[in-house]
């Protein structure tokens, strides 16, 4: 069995924010906008002008915390009160995951995703990631319906701090390095090969254009390199996540990320930065079983990813014990990996990672 679940249409076009109303009008007259204060500050004037031009009724609501079951329920109720015919998500991963879930649980209303950062593939992904109110990972919602449109305006993303794009690149890189162990251990499923080929294409895109895209982002310039990297972060990583079969293939770095979210010190770090540390730990797990992890570590250094728990403020060995204990990898998944992922192995890998040199410095801690 192979299942591929994707949005109806993905479009990356400069100046697209001013045309959002064009895409809403054929679908709905009443719109509930779910956004964040920061995202709305940078998009409201242009977006509202487009909605007014088409005579659309809209109500704007802010998500100020995480994508939680409570926030989804509250916004779903507001969608009902407003008699919303479409959900418009404008923002980063937490906002878009929440908006997707609200639409999916509101009789599968059409939803349009407008990502304002390229820090994850949330605009495309067939799941919504759930957290507690305090930001600890709780689980995921599998969605029945994905966005009708993913509308990417590279001019909006070009104006965001480069830290977000670095985190997005690392999150997308992770797909390849998380699929690779299953391939090494003899998993020859067609679905895995499809996912891995797409994930590798993203890595190749970053190798060819990543450094130039970051330089362009730093200068707030929209260039072919920046567009390609944005597409790789959102669309290629999203496609890789969209291919499924009957076997679960949990990403080890993402499982470590999920455990890290239970540590208060991790809250100021972006998703991709925590995934980066998870990849550094995975590299230690692989090295203990004879696999060369230098390419992976070089990728992480290239994008200033945290390489040690100390960088995230996790300096106590008792915290490393807790992190290792809270990594959840089902036994049937663990048996299909070419290295051990039990609590003891994870604890040893964390300790080894803690001894590694980490050049990553952080001056901007805005999440």
Tell me: is residue 166 an annotated ligand-binding position: no
User: Tokens 């890595």, residue?
Assistant: 203
pLDDT at 319 over 60: yes
Active site residue 204: no
Q: pLDDT tens for residues 260-296?
A: 999 999 999 999 999 999 999 999 999 998 898 899 9
**Short-list 272, 276, 366, 262, CA closest to 314:** 262
Tell me: is residue 125 an annotated ligand-binding position: yes
Strands 149-152 and 243-244: unpaired
Say if residues 114 and 87 touch (Cβ distance below 8 Å).
no
The length of the chain in residues reads 367
Tally of CA atoms within 13 A in the half-sphere of 326 that contains its CB: 18
For the chain, list the domains and their CATH numbers: 3-157 (3.40.50.1970), 162-354 (1.20.1090.10)
Mean pLDDT along residues 241-264 = 94
Active site residue 257: yes
Tokens of 315: 């300096």
Give the dihedral of Cα atoms 26, 27, 33, 39; nearest 10 deg: -60
The whole-angstrom separation of Cα 234 and Cα 217 is 16
Q: pLDDT tens for residues 155-187?
A: 999 999 999 999 999 999 999 999 999 999 988
pLDDT band at 56 (very low <50, low <70, confident <90, very high): very high
pLDDT, residue 246, reads 83
pLDDT, residue 366, reads 35
Catalytic residue, chosen from 104, 137, 153, 171, is: 171
Catalytic residue, chosen from 104, 254, 304, 358, is: 254
Active site residue 80: no
Tell me: is residue 96 an annotated ligand-binding position: yes
Strands (DSSP E) along 116-238, which ranges? 127-131, 137-142, 149-152
Tokens of 189: 């499923």
């Amino acid at each position: 069995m192979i299942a591929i679940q994707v949005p109806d249409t993905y479009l990356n076009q400069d100046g697209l924010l001013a045309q959002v109303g064009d895409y809403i009008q054929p679908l709905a007259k009443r719109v509930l906008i779910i956004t964040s204060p920061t995202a709305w500050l940078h998009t409201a004037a242009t977006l509202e002008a487009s909605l007014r031009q088409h005579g659309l009724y809209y109500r704007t609501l802010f998500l100020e915390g995480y994508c939680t079951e409570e926030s989804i329920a509250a916004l779903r109720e507001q969608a009902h009160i407003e008699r919303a015919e479409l959900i418009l998500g404008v923002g980063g991963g937490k906002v878009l995951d929440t908006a997707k879930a609200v639409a999916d649980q509101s009789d599968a209303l059409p939803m349009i995703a407008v990502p304002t950062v390229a820090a994850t593939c949330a605009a495309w992904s067939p799941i919504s990631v759930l957290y507690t109110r305090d930001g600890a990972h709780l689980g995921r919602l599998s969605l029945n319906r994905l966005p009708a449109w993913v509308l990417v305006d590279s001019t909006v993303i070009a104006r965001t701090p480069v830290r977000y794009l670095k985190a997005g690149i690392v999150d997308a890189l992770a797909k390849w390095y998380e699929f690779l162990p299953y391939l090494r251990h003899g998993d020859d499923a067609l679905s895995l090969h499809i996912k891995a080929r797409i994930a590798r294409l993203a890595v190749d895109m970053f190798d060819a254009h990543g450094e130039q895209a970051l330089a362009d982002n730093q200068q707030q310039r929209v260039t072919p390199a920046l567009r390609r990297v944005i597409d790789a972060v959102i669309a290629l990583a999203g496609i890789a996540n969209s291919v499924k079969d009957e076997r679960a293939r949990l990403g080890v770095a993402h499982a470590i990320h999920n455990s890290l979210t239970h540590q208060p010190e991790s809250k100021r770090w972006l998703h991709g930065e925590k995934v980066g540390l998870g990849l550094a730990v995975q590299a230690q797990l692989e090295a203990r079983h004879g696999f060369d992890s230098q390419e992976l570590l070089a990728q992480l250094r290239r994008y200033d990813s945290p390489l040690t728990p100390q960088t995230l403020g996790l300096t106590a060995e008792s915290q490393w014990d807790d992190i290792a204990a809270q990594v959840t990898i089902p036994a049937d998944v663990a048996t299909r990996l070419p290295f051990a992922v039990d609590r003891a192995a994870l604890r040893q890998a964390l300790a080894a990672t803690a001894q590694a040199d980490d050049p990553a410095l952080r001056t901007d801690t805005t999440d």
